[in-house]
Chain A
């Protein structure tokens, strides 16, 4: 997601007076988000903490997070893109059609009030979750929301940030961006990186049966992916590294037990705002770390002849 207008959670804590959560349920999925970073903390420019902030929650159903919100806006399922488009129009002072607006589950007045609040905020932030980015419209929804945040900067300071889930997914994006130029789904089979989501993303590859071996680490696709993708993993030689024997381990030819990240394996992980933080593992594992095992596999492969035909340097040079 290159080009997003964003900031760190520290800036949110110190500056944000309008906090919007869209398609996410932090009360249950990111329990300390409100108290550690966003709502309740006092900040440098937010002296009264919660009293100085307004929180708006946008979702298709009333989750426990709604209790924390000042305003809850319930949109119809799969209408996020329409709501975002309407807001982008209103922010620019354009009119929207009342009947069309009603289809989204919100009234023109609600949308107008929402747009006004965003423009009047001193520092606004849009947090968006999988309820936005994984439903109809997918990355187009994220793009619309990121554009809204960017456009609001004509009036005030506004940023957007995805609510990332488990573990170090954010680190994965950062590391792949740094090493290959792309954030995920990078195909190196020609010896240089190629990026094409939908073609080189895991589920698509597995559904088409493109892969003839797989190394799975820090994930359990055997428990989470669509069944035909799992079936393909079971057909091909799959290698799993995990602190536990997982569903994926059971369908694998090779499983290697590793130390648990942050519990008994040290290293660095990225917070959702792309701040790297060191781990302080309290325990010592009897197992090697993932890092060590991957490096050992690398060394074992490196002993074999290179598969990629390297160009011989020509005599002329």
Chain B
């Protein structure tokens, strides 16, 4: 099968954020990495585009994303002091949305930095 080559891909595994990585991939997985270190290489190989997990889980049972979104909104809306936490392994665009959500639900937003 023809491999797709992605030049100057960005590794987000550590704070170096190397943006000179070459990736060779098929439709489901990355099969080769160039210039990444061992940590970066295992990071790229560890994630695939396979459907390994259910779209969503509610109380441990498979559910649709729509149902899970409604359920999540209900919990967050009803809470007096909800917490939005994490934000390290997501994009800045996601972080911005998370801050907006935290503001609307009147909660605390926090990241790994506070540890």
Contacts and interface: CB of A to CB of B under 8 A. Distances in A.
Contacts, number: 343
21 contacts: A172-B111, A175-B92, A190-B106, A202-B83, A205-B110, A211-B79, A211-B83, A215-B83, A215-B85, A219-B85, A236-B79, A252-B57, A253-B59, A254-B68, A254-B71, A257-B55, A262-B9, A267-B90, A267-B91, A276-B92, A284-B49
Contact of A169 (B20, B75, B85, B111): B111
Nearest to B9: A280
A282 B75 contact: no
Which are the 5 A-B pairs with shortest beta-carbon distances? Answer: A267-B91, A219-B86, A213-B79, A300-B73, A272-B15
Q: Identify which of B19, B54, B98 gathers the most chain A CB atoms within 10 Å of its CB.
A: B98
Interface of B: 4, 6-20, 23, 25, 27-30, 37-40, 44, 47-60, 65, 68-73, 75-115
Per DSSP, chain B at the interface is mixed
Given A215-B84, A301-B104, A269 B27 contact: no
A210 interface: yes
Contacts of A184: 110-111, 113-114
Query: How large, as a class, is the contact surface on chain A?
Result: 35 or more
A164 B83 contact: no
Nearest to A187: B108
Interface string A233-272: 0001101000111000110111111001111111111111
A280 B10 contact: yes
